[in-house]
C-alpha cells in the first residue's frame, strides 16, 4: 500500500468519532484511534479485540435488559453456537456480514494470542505467509465483500504483491483496524437504536396515560403526561 494511501487512511481515522462508545466502556476518548500507533502487532490485536468484546458485552446486556453489563453475558465465549457473536446476530445487533467481520478479527487475535512466537511477528508477516485464497478470504471478511472467493488464474502459493517496493508495512494492521472501526460503529448504532426503541415505547405509554387522564377530566395529570411524552419523543429524535 503506497504511503499516500496510508496517510489518507490515517487522516480519515482522525475524523472517526467513537467517543460515545469509548465513554460507555470507560476508556479514554481517542484510545481506539491510538491503536494505529501501537508499536507491537501482538498487543495491537489483543487491545483491539478486547475493546470490541467489551462493546459487544455492553450492547448485548442492554438489549437483554441485564444490569451491571450482564455478568452472564461476560462469561459467554465469543464464538460458537452459544457465543456472543452468534447471539448478537440472532438479536439483530449484527448482520451476517458483521458477524463474519467480528469472527475474522477474533480468529486473527487467537492466532496471535496463543502463540509465543507471534510476540515479535508483525501482522504483515503473518498474513503474507498465507495462501492467496486465504488472504483474500480474510480481507473480504474484514471489509464486507462477498464470501465467494475465487483463486486468481495463474496464481499459485503465496500472495504476489506487484508493488512490493511500495508496500506499507502497516497494510494488514490498517485493514484490521478499519474492520474493527466498522464493527464498533455498527455496535454504537445498535446501542443507540435500542434506547430509541425504549424511548418510543415510553412515549406511547405516556400518550396513553395522557388520554386516560384527559378523559377523566384531570387536566393537571393529563398535562404532566403530555409533557413527559414530548420529552420522551425529543430524546429519540435528537
65 pLDDT more than 90: no
Tell me the domain boundaries of the chain: 3-149+168-190
pLDDT at residue 213 tops 60:
yes
For residue range 135-176, list pLDDT tens digits in order: 888 888 888 765 554 444 444 445 445 454 444 457 788 889
Beta-carbon count within 10 A of 217 CB: 8
Is 233 in a helix, a strand, or coil? helix
CA gap 96, 37 in Å, rounded: 30
Q: What is the pLDDT of residue 21?
A: 86
SS3 39: coil
Amino acid at each position: 500500500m503506497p504511503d499516500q494511501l496510508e496517510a489518507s487512511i490515517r487522516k480519515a481515522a482522525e475524523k472517526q468519532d467513537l467517543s460515545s462508545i469509548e465513554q460507555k466502556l470507560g476508556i479514554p476518548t481517542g484510545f481506539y484511534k491510538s491503536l494505529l500507533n501501537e508499536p507491537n502487532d501482538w498487543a495491537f490485536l489483543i487491545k483491539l479485540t478486547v475493546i470490541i468484546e467489551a462493546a459487544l458485552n455492553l450492547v448485548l446486556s442492554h438489549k437483554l435488559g441485564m444490569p451491571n453489563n450482564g455478568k452472564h453475558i461476560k462469561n459467554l465465549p465469543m464464538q460458537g453456537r452459544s457465543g456472543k457473536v452468534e447471539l448478537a446476530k440472532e438479536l439483530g445487533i449484527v448482520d451476517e456480514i458483521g458477524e463474519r467481520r467480528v469472527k475474522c478479527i477474533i480468529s486473527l487475535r487467537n492466532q496471535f494470542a496463543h502463540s509465543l512466537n507471534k510476540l515479535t511477528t508483525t501482522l504483515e508477516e503473518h498474513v503474507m505467509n498465507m495462501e492467496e485464497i486465504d488472504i483474500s478470504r480474510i480481507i473480504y471478511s474484514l471489509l464486507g465483500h462477498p464470501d465467494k472467493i475465487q483463486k486468481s488464474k495463474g496464481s499459485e502459493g503465496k500472495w504476489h504483491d506487484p508493488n512490493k517496493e511500495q508496500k506499507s508495512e502497516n497494510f494488514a494492521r490498517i485493514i484490521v483496524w478499519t474492520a474493527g472501526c466498522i464493527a464498533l460503529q455498527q455496535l454504537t448504532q445498535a446501542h443507540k437504536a435500542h434506547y430509541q426503541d425504549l424511548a418510543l415505547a415510553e412515549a406511547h405509554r405516556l400518550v396513553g396515560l395522557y388520554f386516560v387522564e384527559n378523559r377523566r377530566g384531570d387536566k393537571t395529570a393529563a398535562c404532566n403526561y403530555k409533557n413527559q411524552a414530548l420529552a420522551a419523543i425529543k430524546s429519540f429524535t435528537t
